Amino acid sequence: MKLDKKSLLLYAVTDRTWLKDRKLADDVEQALQGGATFVQLREKDASFDEFVEQAKEVKAVCKKHGVPFVINDNIEVALAVDADGVHVGQSDMEAGSVREKIGPDKIIGVSTRTVEEALLAKERGADYLGVGAIFNTSTKLDASEVSFQELRGICGTVQLPVVAIGGISLDNIEELIGTGIDGVAVVSALFGAKDIKKASEELKEKVERVVN
């Protein structure tokens, strides 16, 4: 699957923290019904087999909705389930070696915090950038905040689609107007919501105003 930057508009990153007795694939379905346009499966503590099982279920939901589906960090899982791609951090692996492993036709996203990191990611084969954390976030305690100035610098310098991530919610999303981003990635604003479908609808409506 080749990346269409429009698919990055409302980028859902999974987190099983809020699941209780629900299935993750069902929560993803709710997010997609509400308008989420991209899904990243993030499993920090799952075994390989658990990760693969979750990935197969979530991939099936994404395929039904025609939405790109990528795996966070784990190239082996991405290959095992034939995901549309992977998203890696700066410390996880250089984008160049990811491309060698995953092949020319898969989507690669790379987390970046500076213009220098963004340029290097592009050079090594990234298809899009995840820039953050933009605001304080409880889902990634080691993430330092990226200034709006740095975010605008990355968007203006690096000719790749950019997704802002980190603590983004309905309350602060409109602060991103004018930064040049192509979309926002959200975790708790979606999967921590009481009504995931409604949260997705409201977030999409707001991010469309931010991007356009």
Query: Catalytic amino acids?
Result: 42, 111, 140
d(CA 123, CA 109): 13
Element spanning 72, H or E: strand 69-72
Helix (H) or strand (E) holding 13: strand 10-13
Contact partners, residue 62, CB within 8 Å, separation at least 6: 28, 32, 39, 68, 69
Sign of CA dihedral 83, 86, 92, 95: positive
Spatial CA neighbour of 131 closest among 141, 147, 123? 147
Question: How far apart are the C-alpha atoms of 12 and 84, rounded to whole Å?
Answer: 15
The β-bridge partners of 109 are 87, 128
Neighbours of 56 (CB within 10 A): 15
Q: What sign results for the dihedral spanned by CA atoms 156, 161, 164, 169?
A: positive
For residues 168 and 187, is the Cβ–Cβ distance under 8 A?
no
